[in-house]
Amino acid sequence: MGGGGGGDHLKERRAAMNTSSAAACQSKVRPAEPINRLTLLGHAHMKEALGRHSNMKYRNLGKSGLRVSCLGLGTWVTFGSQISDEMAESVMTLAFDSGVNLFDTAEVYASGRAEATLGKILKKKAWRRSSYVVTTKIYWGGQAETERGLSRKHVIEGLRGSLSRLQLDYVDIVFANRSDINAPMEEVVRAMTFVIDQGLAMYWGTSRWSAMEIMEAYSVARQFNLVPPVCEQAEYHYFQRDKVELHLPELYHKIGVGAMTWSPLACGLLTGKYNEGVPSSSRANIKGYDWLKQRLCTDEGKKQLSLIRELHLLAEKLNCTSAQLAIAWCLRSEGVSSVLLGVSNTDQLLENLGSIRVLSQLTPPLIAEMDAVLGNKPRIGKKEARS
């Protein structure tokens, strides 16, 4: 890892972090234990290794050569909005010192303030640019008709705007933040190839695209000798499984597209914080998240809360928290390169990082037990819903 300070300084920080982690998660956090250097469960095809100075694991992004931490830090809702810039810096510093090398944002997050906050922190910390990965997403820019979508104009201008806010010369990955029915696929792929050729990005990926759309982009790239996408960002948690478990693994094996997943805790639902109501400090009480509060009151929401309580008992047997079990469950899925975390403080981050130690406990019998509780294991042959 690249950061300020010498070896002794980093050792002191890591010692302090381990002490804080134990206090924050109490007895539920599993003690550190050796983790096999080879991949676990469904990851035999994905090269995986431990970080030199932490328990972090690193995986290839799809079948590209880019190595990313299996846990990344997202900035949706938090940076430039829910948390202060000081807390954002504390979270990023802890993440980086813990081996996280992937930071994700988007032009639309907090109307650009998330990118600006991330950029200010990166400039202040002065970590080597070669030691971390920054990803951003393009689609929703400004209010003008030409400031949104995936036209060549907005892909190029939108990315340049993101780079200005991030105070970076390039991003490692630029994502198309949804598909655009108004932009021909060839135009989108050519625009992404252009920003890569210009050195504004290293790779490009998709977000909320269907498997058919990703395959179309790949075919266009091959037909015209352009750059194909390397990754899809997809929602993935206990109650959102089909795309990541059925459709993306096929794309991984066929064309090398990996999965970077988000919302592993379903906006905090899987932590158990909503089991007894809606806490005042929770995301469900944030302006614009009324849908989450309403969801909890539906029959489906009540059923999900009941299942979460059952899985909480299983987490207790494993001596971990519900959040750690949920994140580890995401990490065990075939083709998942990295799981993006959304945290509002360092205690939450410490807890979530502990999921790596839980991963080795997710044996096939345990996964089968979880599937029996959830009752929603994807069926082969099930048609994909458009994202």
Segment 114-173, tens digit of pLDDT: 999 999 999 999 999 999 999 999 999 999 999 999 999 999 999 999 999 999 999 999
278: tokens are 């809606």
260: tokens are 């970077």
Residue with the bigger pLDDT between 54 and 331: it is 331
How many residues appear in the chain?
387
Residue 344 has pLDDT above 50, yes or no: yes
Residue 6 has pLDDT above 80, yes or no: no
Confidence (pLDDT) at 238? 98
What digits encode the pLDDT tens for the residues 173-206?
Answer: 999 999 999 999 999 999 999 999 999 999 999 9
Confidence (pLDDT) at 293? 59
58: tokens are 């690193």
From the list 101, 93, 95, the residue with the least C-alpha distance to 121 is 93
Confidence (pLDDT) at 49? 74
Residue with tokens 């299996």: 70
Report residue 335's pLDDT band, with 50, 70 and 90 as the boundaries.
Answer: confident
Residue 27 has pLDDT above 50, yes or no: no
What digits encode the pLDDT tens for the residues 290-323?
Answer: 656 567 668 787 899 999 999 999 999 999 999 9
Q: Are 229 and 220 in contact (CB under 8 A)?
A: no
Confidence (pLDDT) at 35? 35
Confidence (pLDDT) at 31? 40
Residue 279 has pLDDT above 90, yes or no: no
Residue with the bigger pLDDT between 306 and 5: it is 306
CATH of domain 40-374: 3.20.20.100
Confidence (pLDDT) at 52? 60
From the list 99, 109, 97, 98, the residue with the least C-alpha distance to 135 is 109
Q: Are 101 and 131 in contact (CB under 8 A)?
A: yes
120: tokens are 């200010």
pTM equals 0.83
pLDDT over 90, % of the chain: 73
Report residue 334's pLDDT band, with 50, 70 and 90 as the boundaries.
Answer: confident
Residue 208 has pLDDT above 90, yes or no: yes
Confidence (pLDDT) at 278? 60
Report residue 102's pLDDT band, with 50, 70 and 90 as the boundaries.
Answer: very high
Domain ranges of the chain: 40-374
Q: Which long-range contacts (CB under 8 A, 24 or more apart) does 52-56 make?
A: 53/1, 53/10, 53/14, 53/99, 54/14, 54/98, 54/99, 55/99, 55/356, 55/357, 56/98, 56/99, 56/100, 56/353, 56/356
From the list 303, 305, 207, the residue with the least C-alpha distance to 248 is 207
Distance CA 200, CA 188 (A): 15
Residue 368: Cβ-neighbour burial (10 angstroms; 0-12, 13-18, 19+): exposed
Distance CA 209, CA 215 (A): 10
Q: Check residue 233 and give left, alpha or beta (phi > 0: left; psi -120 to 50: alpha).
A: beta
Confidence (pLDDT) at 30? 43
- Radius of gyration (C-alpha) of the chain in whole angstroms: 20
What digits encode the pLDDT tens for the residues 233-255?
Answer: 999 999 999 999 999 999 999 99
Residue 11 has pLDDT above 90, yes or no: no
Confidence (pLDDT) at 300? 85
Confidence (pLDDT) at 5? 45
**What amino acid positions are annotated as catalytic residues?**
109
